[in-house]
Amino acid sequence: MDDPQVSIIAPLYNESETLPHLVTRLNTLMDRLSLRIEVVLVDDGSRDQTALLMQELALADARYHCVFLSRNYGHQIALTAGIAAARGSEALFIIDGDLQDPPELLPDFYQKLKEGYDVVYAVRKKRKEGWLKRMAYAGFYKFMRSISYVDIPLDSGDFSLISRRVANVMKQMPEESRFIRGMRSWIGFRQTGIEYDRDARLVGTSKYSFKMLRKLAYNGIFNFSEYPIKLVTRLGVITLVFAVLYLIQTLIKKYYYGDVPQGFTATLLVIILFSGVQLLALGLIGEYVLRIFFQSKGRPLYIVREVIRHQERQADYDTDPVSYQTKIAPNQPR
């Protein structure tokens, strides 16, 4: 069997209710298109029946290539595992497994690839989510674009189609705190966007908690912006200027008016101001140190427990800490 032209990558975490609907729509799409397509499903340590359903699917349909991670590593790492496992010779189509990203848009994305674009990302015209969440997303993307040293398009998520050469570059990027959409923008090449209406989740609830969204936002800010560390410098300069002005005011009052400002309130104000600035500076610097600490460990980004592809099972995979591509462990049959 020839290698697939396009790989569709979908990370899954506790999506046993959604998976049958996803498979139905993917099968309809693949039957309709003349492209050679494989589907790479990545189980991110699910605790429900998702892994079992994936096993049955991969053993029954050779178009499905299923990767099972050893535990829950998070959405961005699961995408990374999918990119490493995908064999699409022309492009990789990245979608969410909850069907908020309609796979039926593949032909539109692929057409842009044929026009010479290496990255085709989706731009959300409308979100079917609560107003508070919509406002938070909009605020983050505008803030991120204003401070980032790479051009990250507004309201564009991981839903995208990337060429094989972009995928190969991403596989060589070893950062532990990953922000896929930022990495995609940093790589460059010709990029364009396609607008679409983001659907609501078909069933169940979002697996992205507030804590996970905050971590993702931090990864974007600290990995693709110099603003936090420059903010520390600016705060230091501002507080230094404030201290010098306060000193000058005190000296003038002492030598010209014979009056020195007294009182507990003024002293307390100065202590609180400077202490707050110092703690903020330490916190921002700590975020960089934390990322350096985790990166310096040199651990693999993820460990693959099992891979099922083309009615064959490959078990006990690990991860190459250099290239971050899955490989078969010693003494394991292919």
pLDDT category at 329 given cuts 50, 70, 90 is: very low
Spatial distance between the Cα atoms of 149 and 220, rounded to a whole number of angstroms: 11
Q: What is the pLDDT of residues 162-183, one digit of tens each?
A: 888 888 888 888 887 788 878 8
Highest mean pLDDT among 70-74, 106-110, 273-277, 302-306: 106-110
Q: How confident is the model over 308-327, as a mean pLDDT?
A: 48
Between helix 210-223 and helix 75-85 the angle, nearest 10°, is 70
Q: How confident is the model over 221-244, as a mean pLDDT?
A: 73
pLDDT higher than threshold 50 for residue 332: no
The C-alpha angle 43, 48, 51, rounded to 5 degrees, equals: 35
* Per-residue pLDDT at 298: 74
* 181, 72, 219, 113: CA torsion to nearest 10: -10
**CA nearest 161: which of 265, 302, 6?**
6
Q: What is the pLDDT of residues 11-59, one digit of tens each?
A: 998 888 888 888 899 999 988 888 888 999 998 888 888 888 888 888 8
Spatial distance between the Cα atoms of 269 and 248, rounded to a whole number of angstroms: 17
* 17, 20, 24, 29: CA torsion to nearest 10: 80
* Per-residue pLDDT at 313: 52
119 in Cβ contact with 166 (< 8 Å): yes
- Percent of the chain at pLDDT above 90? 4
99 in Cβ contact with 21 (< 8 Å): yes
Q: What is the pLDDT of residues 126-157, one digit of tens each?
A: 666 666 666 766 666 666 666 666 777 766 77
* pTM greater than 0.75: no
DSSP 8-class letter at 225: B
* Per-residue pLDDT at 324: 35
Residue 40: burial class (beta carbons within 10 Å; 0-12, 13-18, 19+): buried
pLDDT higher than threshold 90 for residue 92: yes
The more confident residue out of 278 and 127 is 278
Q: Please list the residues that pair with 313 across neighbouring strands.
A: 308
* Per-residue pLDDT at 262: 62
35 in Cβ contact with 100 (< 8 Å): no
pLDDT higher than threshold 90 for residue 93: yes
The more confident residue out of 94 and 205 is 94
Q: What is the pLDDT of residues 242-266, one digit of tens each?
A: 777 777 777 777 677 666 656 655 6
pLDDT higher than threshold 70 for residue 201: no
* Per-residue pLDDT at 276: 74
